[in-house]
Amino acid sequence: MKAFQTMRISSSGLSAERLRMDTISSNIANATTTRTEEGGPYRRKIAVFQESLKNEMNIKFNKMQRVSNGVRAVGVIEDDSELQRVFDPNHPDANEEGYVLMPNINILNEMVDMIAATRAYEANVTAMNASKSMLLKTLEIGKG
């Protein structure tokens, strides 16, 4: 039923933005982690999404077409940008020159990304509530 398509799309957006916020939170929490289980400092993670398409019959032109079905998470990848070198000879992970490899995380960029993800999440909630309101109004019109 096409009436619920907009709610499905908003729902996929909510899930995507939630994953994005979780990934950003993990980056912020590990901004000073110099040792991981894999060895070396923590590397920034990035959530990757892809448009979800489905085939649907276009009745007007009597042919199949691809229509949007929201977004889906493809995965979470590591940012391979250069790690930060910080001079701290007292740090347990410092090399013989006194430099420590720190994660490639910029807290300010992460906070900006978090704000953008929050705004996108709120926009999806607003769209879902608008769709719900329209469906309820449609049901009310059908009663009378």
Q: Which of 75, 91, 79, 73 is nearest to 42 (CA)?
A: 79
Q: Is residue 96 part of a domain?
A: no
Q: Which of 10-19, 22-31, 78-87, 130-139 has the lowest mean pLDDT?
A: 130-139
The pTM for the full model equals: 0.84
Q: What is the pLDDT of residue 59?
A: 64
Domain total in the chain: 1
Domain that holds residue 6: 2-31+45-78+105-143
Q: Are 70 and 13 in contact (CB under 8 A)?
A: yes
